[in-house]
Structure 1
């Protein structure tokens, strides 16, 4: 009785399959970014309302457009980082495919979480937590991919470029830790001080403060890493 054997695909076939992974990811980003704008429509203003009184009708649309613009920037940034990471790939495996799908799950969730922001009220901020959770999840998934490619399975990446890989990995790690820490602080403030609006608004500054701190922390690490590489090159 003959036994079937699954043959390893040829290099050109694997390159095509890796390209399909990247193209599929690009398509998901394009669809998610397009869906953001679909629900935004100008309000139906009665003819009897004077122009001076248009603002109450336009305020929801302005906030909706601001949310769209911010989310578009977030998605564009995620796409750029994903593209930079994919530039180092030369192989793929099931683990990478699963992690990439996990990342895309949070990308396609953004149109829903962005539209949910329209339902924020003074005493109903659940949509904000859902949106922040979406951001944290996307950052966590991107960091998970970078850890898998650069640390756990370095054979999936092109040889060399050690400095760029290490700095990219550290950047994704710091971004995830910034968002996760900020989200935790905001959640705890709302839990322990549900009626203190002042504390709640101050807690929102945790994320930009941590982002600024980690930005300079990464710059110092980048300088030290490049200095170490320069010393090694001189020694060689």
Structure 2
């Protein structure tokens, strides 16, 4: 009676495969950022035009460039956070691959949501909600990966560095909670008060207010963690 066994990859092979996962992610980030700028083109400039006419002609392009700049900053920030998480990885499994692909889905969606936000108006806020949903999806996926690596499958991460892992995990968690809560409050404000522009504008301040609040919470947690480590070290 013959039996077949699936051979586990050698450590060298698994290290190479983990590098492929990270390099693939970097390529997706690079492509997403590149696609942001492709659609931005200068309008046809006439040979003769009064000085004030150039502003009106270039204003749509400048708005597109501002939207590109904002998305570039967001994608760059997500790449930095992804890099910070990957530096702790020593192994991978299918769960990590699926969660990473889920995160990259929202990264490659940025060119679409960025182009959509340019069609936002006072009476048509759906593109703006699509953009907020894109941001929240990135933060949710990043938190999902960090929870999987640091909490559910800690064997995927390199041993040690417990304080750095915990602080990074808390940062991802607070970031997701900030975006999810803020997005929900803004959407509910537009749903409950569709004609009240004052309430709608105030709702925009929820995300930065929650961001500052959670930033302070994270700083306090980091300070308390450092104090605990310093107390333990002399006794060890």
Question: Which TM class, normalised by the smaller chain length?
Answer: over 0.9
Cα distance per residue 1:81-115 (max 9 Å; x no partner): 00010000001000000000000000000000001
**2:127 matches 1:88:** no
**2:13 matches 1:10:** no
TM-score (norm 1): 0.97
Identify the residue that residue 190 of structure 1 maps to in structure 2.
190
Gaps of 5+ in 1: none
3-state secondary structure, aligned to 1:119: coil
Report the Cα distance in structure 2 between the residues aligned to 1:234 and 1:144, rounded to whole angstroms.
36
Report the Cα distance in structure 1 between the residues aligned to 2:52 and 2:66, rounded to whole angstroms.
22
Identify the residue that residue 110 of structure 1 maps to in structure 2.
110
3-state secondary structure, aligned to 1:233: helix
Identify the residue that residue 231 of structure 2 maps to in structure 1.
231
Indicate if the aligned counterparts of 1:60 and 1:118 stay in contact, CA closer than 8 A: no
Structure 1 range deviating more: 196-205 or 38-47: 38-47
Cα distance per residue 1:47-82 (max 9 Å; x no partner): 454221222222211111111001000000000000
Gaps of 5+ in 2: none
**2:138 matches 1:127:** no
CA RMSD of aligned residues (A): 1.0
Q: CA deviation at 1:24?
A: 0.2
Indicate if the aligned counterparts of 1:147 and 1:169 stay in contact, CA closer than 8 A: yes
Report the Cα distance in structure 1 between the residues aligned to 2:46 and 2:187, rounded to whole angstroms.
41
Indicate if the aligned counterparts of 1:67 and 1:114 stay in contact, CA closer than 8 A: yes
Q: How many residue pairs get matched? A: 236
TM-score (norm 2): 0.97
Report the Cα distance in structure 2 between the residues aligned to 1:48 and 1:196, rounded to whole angstroms.
44
3-state secondary structure, aligned to 1:201: helix
Q: CA deviation at 1:46?
A: 4.0
